[in-house]
Structure 1
């Protein structure tokens, strides 16, 4: 189970010469919760990302975001949906540039791998490659429980 406070942000990735958005969420201690590549940075994209993250990680008490209006609108949308289903919990939104430093630092691991590629040729290849980079990063952070001794063994288990 995840902690009650999330950090959420997006970073840019070049695909076919156009900027795409990699939405990412980490918990308070920096563990990756979810990620999603999107062609747009708007309310529907943010709502889709939050729905995906909530379905696999549960509902947090609060989500820290930057000053992005699209992300705030996405959380409002999710809160409306939760309310419609009779869920008493409301996700609190904290808009702070500085509380999000943890996720901004976490973007470095993606940027370090992607920078030398000069962009991706297709959305599908970008998505697949970023999935691999994120999983490798999660292995590096030791996010997967189990008696494995090396990152390679864990990767072989997940891939197999």
Structure 2
């Protein structure tokens, strides 16, 4: 994890300006050019590509810093995938929430098959540090096969129950909306890796809105978002 000095070294704008632009872009339905106009009204001349580079450079480090305060999700997972267009082609965003609606994990994949589903579950296991007691899926066969084959690759999955229920998965389908409502105004991505980083930032903001971080030791209760971000990044 880089220090804050390393992350913002060589930038031509103050750290507060960079964090503000990145946070607003990920949180609100703003285009890069919208942000350029908003900054111009504040006397700052920016190019939209500058903000795009800030997003790509900053999001991985922001994730690392926020994840130090992340709470583990529950052990009943609802898993589903939604669609994101990259360079005119559909890609697949695998996502999971627990029974309380808190985000478990996510992964953007170019493919929708057993291998992609397994990769998502391995990532979720690494993030949460423990396998779920149950996984609820829709009827897509590849995802079912992936879960069935996981215990042979890692014994921690052997007690996980597999369920298939359209009704129980309404929760994850509703949760997709919070992410897609921000992604859709971006009008598609041109590069897969850039899309993955940007979506990671959107997901981070979505988790922050849900209150999935234990910030008690930072004493930030009641503070405005800019102050909270500053405290988290500086901690």
Q: Using structure 1 for the length normalisation, give the TM-score.
A: 0.90
Candidates 185, 191, 203, aligned match of 1:122: 191
Give the superposed CA RMSD: 1.7
Alignment of 1:8-157 (within 5 A): 8-57=79-128, 58-83=130-155, 87=156, 89-146=158-215, 147-148=219-220, 149-157=223-231
Taking the aligned partners of 2:115 and 2:232, their CA distance within structure 1 comes to 31
In the TM superposition, structure 1's runs of 4+ consecutive aligned residues that sit over 3 Å from their partners are 149-160
- Equivalenced residue count is 157
Partner Cα distance (2:150, 2:232) in 1 = 31
Change in CA separation of 1:20 and 1:155 when aligned onto 2, cut-off 3 Å: farther
User: After superposition, what is the alpha-carbon deviation per residue over 1:14-46, rounded to whole angstroms, capped at 9, x for unaligned?
Assistant: 000000000111111011111110000100000
Q: Matched residue of 2:78: which SS? A: strand
Per-residue displacement from partner, 1:58-106 (whole Å, max 9, x unpaired)? 11110011111111111112122124xxx48421111111101111011
TM-score for the superposition, normalised by structure 2? 0.63
Q: Greater Rg, structure 1 or structure 2?
A: 2
Unaligned ranges ≥5, structure 2 = 1-71
Q: Greater strand share, 1 or 2?
A: 1
2:76 aligned residue: 5
